[in-house]
Structure formats: C-alpha cells, structure tokens
Chains A and B, each alone.
Chain A
Amino acid sequence: MSRYDVNVVLYRLKKDAAFRTRFVAEPAAALARADLTDEERDAFVRWDIRRLNELGGSLHLLVSIPRLGGH
C-alpha cells in the first residue's frame, strides 16, 4: 500500500535523527532500501513536499520534520 510506505519514510524522517541526517546528505542512498515507487522516490529525493502530499504523504508529517518541514 503506497500511502503507507510514503508515510513510513516521513515518520522515520521525523523521529529518527540519524536517518534524517543521512537523508539530507544523500537522499537517494538513504532511501535505497525503502519500499517506494520510482515516482515516490523521486519526490523524496527532490524533497517536493507538494508532490509527496499528493502521493498520500500526511500534511502533519510534512510540516513537522525537523529542519525539513515548514509550518
């Protein structure tokens, strides 16, 4: 279920500081093992929160990830 996988990554970005640091440095490498479609992966790598939201990403996660979210 795609919406689930997008939100699992977002939740981990919010809660797991080490994962978040890896993602900021090398987004594609940090997501190598994540279960995402190409489109979802691309939106994460570009950090396109509008697209991630359209793909089912929770607004409340998107705006509350430290240093990445904007509220």
Chain B
Amino acid sequence: MGTIVYAAAMSHVLAPDYYGKNVGPHGRAMVEDLIEVVKGMGRELLATRPDALVVVADDHLNVFSFDAVPALCVRIGRTVERMVQEDAIEFDRALDGLPERYPLHEDLANRILEEGMEAGFDFAASWSAPLDHAFLSPVSVLCGERPVPPLVPVWVNCFVAPQPTARRCFEAGRHIARVIADSPWRVAVIATGGLSHFPSLSVTRVGTSDPAFDRRLIAAMEAGDHEMLRALPMKELHETGSHELLNWMVLLGAVSPARARVRFFGEMGRIDLAALEWMLP
C-alpha cells in the first residue's frame, strides 16, 4: 500500500533579488529567512526517500494560453523541461542555471489521470508543458544539489476565471490520495504559491495583501478546519488575492484530516510568505 510520506505547502517566488528590488531590504531579508526554512524542510522531505514528488502549482500564462485553459492538468510523459523564455521575468530568469530536464514519475501520473477519468475527475493531460518558477523555485530550494525525485506536476487554473472551486480542488486532492494509497509508492506532495497578493488581479492593487485573511487561513489549517476552507467562495479568494490557495486546497484534500504546522509566516506588505508542513499519521 502506498503512502504520503511528506506534505508541505510554500510560497514559490524564492528569489531575494526580486523582493529586494520590489519591496526593499526587509523583503529581501524575509525571503532569505524563508529560503533557509525551506532548505530544512527539503532535508526532511528527502530523508523520507520518496519514490515520487507531486507538485501542485499554477500557470502564470507562461504555459497555457487563452486558447485552452485546463482547470486541472497532469503532466505525463517521461521527462519535463525547465521553461526557457527569452527575456523572462526576473524570477524565472533566476532558474537559468538549473538542470534543463527533470524525470517524471510516469506511472503515478498516468494512474492519477486514468483513474481520475473513472472517478469523475477529467484532468487535462499535457505531454509538453514546461515548468516555471511555480514548480522549480521551491523544488530547487528543497532539493539543493541532491537529485530531484521523479516529479508529478499538477497545474490548477488559479488565474483565468472561471476557476475550479476550492471544494473541487480539495476533492481532486482526495482523488490523488486514493490513487497513492492504492499504489506501491512512497510519495511526497507539495503545493506552492501565495499567500495573499495581487488582490482582484488588479493593476491598481499590486503591492498590497490581506494579512488578516491569511492569518485566518493558517489558523484553519493548524486546527484542521478543512470545511471552512472548502467553503471559501472564489469571489472571496479573488478579492483577497488568494487565488493560489487553490493549489493548497489540492494538498489539503490529499492529507485531510491532518493538521498543519507553521514553519514560516511573514507579512511583507506586497505578499504574505509562508511555509507549512502537515503532521501525517
């Protein structure tokens, strides 16, 4: 029987230069502190010797265009490439020195996809989507110089309305947990992104966040109050800039009813940074 051996969620712009430039010295210092925490989490993750690492993250209109926006998408195939984009935004350029290609856990990805169809989860499948900072910034900090476990990237449409609901993302996570339980593998699961930033996806509100809302979210995760989180309407997530919580909802579904432990929480003004891990049975 398969097991989720490690579960965590964390911010995914782990780039001190970006926050130094856009926020100032306190932004740089805060993300540097977060990076140290995530490095420690990575040591714990790899110590569980996972066969696969599921990474749930979102597309920043880097991979999927408006021609087709998958609500939920599983990356299948044998390997996945790092996104290479001319004149990429600075925190994607920060990935330039990383490996160009990463192994995928093809069998687990296929099972999530195929058994999803049977169970009522019509995941989109991609054979070619590359990984941007939403995946590789956390993965590269977690793993450092050590080999990256075979990945199963899962995309959630966080930004192009209409998005999947928090409840639907949670259910997708439950599906992933059932597939893992029926498999022979030890699997780590991480979700990335957030917390509150870019409220209402409005140009005029870039630079603001909603720390009070984020403290509520974190408290619910610590208490294991998943019903409160499942019930969050997209309108509220949109207005508070909590779009990427949808990634975390998939993770919550996978680990429920486990409670979270906060490894890092910081209110930066432009965004709130966090890293949480879940206390698994």
Complex: A17 Cα to B85 Cα, angstroms? 10
Task: Find out whether the CB atom of A17 lies under 8 angstroms from the CB atom of B60.
Answer: no
| 5 interchain pairs, CB-CB under 8 A | A11-B65, A17-B86, A58-B160, A58-B201, A59-B159
Of all chain A residues, the one with the shortest Cβ separation from B13 is: A71
Task: Find out whether the CB atom of B90 lies under 8 angstroms from the CB atom of A59.
Answer: no
Complex: A71 Cα to B65 Cα, angstroms? 20
Task: Find out whether the CB atom of B60 lies under 8 angstroms from the CB atom of A64.
Answer: yes
Q: Which of B76-112 contact A (CB under 8 A)?
A: 85-90
Q: Which residues of B contact A15 (CB under 8 A)?
A: 85
Q: Measured between C-beta atoms, what is the minimum distance from A22 to chain B in Å? A: 16
Task: Find out whether the CB atom of A49 lies under 8 angstroms from the CB atom of B203.
Answer: yes
Q: Measured between C-beta atoms, what is the minimum distance from B207 to chain A in Å? A: 10
Q: Nearest 6 CB-CB pairs, A to B?
A: A66-B87, A53-B203, A59-B201, A7-B66, A64-B89, A60-B60
Q: Which residues of A contact B160 (CB under 8 A)?
A: 58
Task: Find out whether the CB atom of A69 lies under 8 angstroms from the CB atom of B89.
Answer: yes
Q: Which of A11, A61, A67, A71 contacts B87 (CB 8 A)?
A: A67
Residues of B that sit less than 8 Å from A by CB: 18, 22, 60-62, 65-67, 85-90, 159-160, 198, 201-204, 206
Q: Which of B62, B89, B159, B201 contacts A71 (CB 8 A)?
A: B89
What is the predominant secondary structure among interface residues of chain A facing chain B? helix
Of all chain B residues, the one with the shortest Cβ separation from A6 is: B66
What is the predominant secondary structure among interface residues of chain B facing chain A? loop
* A62 in contact with B203 given A8-B66, A11-B61, A11-B65 (CB within 8 Å): yes
Q: Which of A49, A64, A66 contacts B61 (CB 8 A)?
A: A64
Instruction: Say yes or no for A47: interface residue by CB 8 A criterion.
Output: no
Complex: A64 Cα to B159 Cα, angstroms? 14
Task: Find out whether the CB atom of B204 lies under 8 angstroms from the CB atom of A50.
Answer: yes
Q: Which residues of A contact B88 (CB under 8 A)?
A: 66
Q: Which residues of B contact A62 (CB under 8 A)?
A: 203
Complex: A63 Cα to B160 Cα, angstroms? 15
Of all chain B residues, the one with the shortest Cβ separation from A17 is: B86
Complex: A14 Cα to B88 Cα, angstroms? 9
Q: Which residues of A contact B22 (CB under 8 A)?
A: 71
Task: Find out whether the CB atom of B86 lies under 8 angstroms from the CB atom of A66.
Answer: yes
Of all chain A residues, the one with the shortest Cβ separation from B65 is: A11
Q: Which residues of B contact A71 (CB under 8 A)?
A: 18, 22, 89-90
Task: Find out whether the CB atom of A50 lies under 8 angstroms from the CB atom of B61.
Answer: no
Of all chain A residues, the one with the shortest Cβ separation from B67 is: A8
Q: Measured between C-beta atoms, what is the minimum distance from B59 to chain A in Å? A: 9
Q: Measured between C-beta atoms, what is the minimum distance from A8 to chain B in Å? A: 6
* A53 in contact with B66 given A66-B87, A71-B90 (CB within 8 Å): no
The 8 A CB mask of A3-47 against B (1 = contact, 0 = none) is 010011001001101000000000000000000000000000000
Q: Measured between C-beta atoms, what is the minimum distance from B144 to chain A in Å? A: 26
Of all chain B residues, the one with the shortest Cβ separation from A70 is: B206
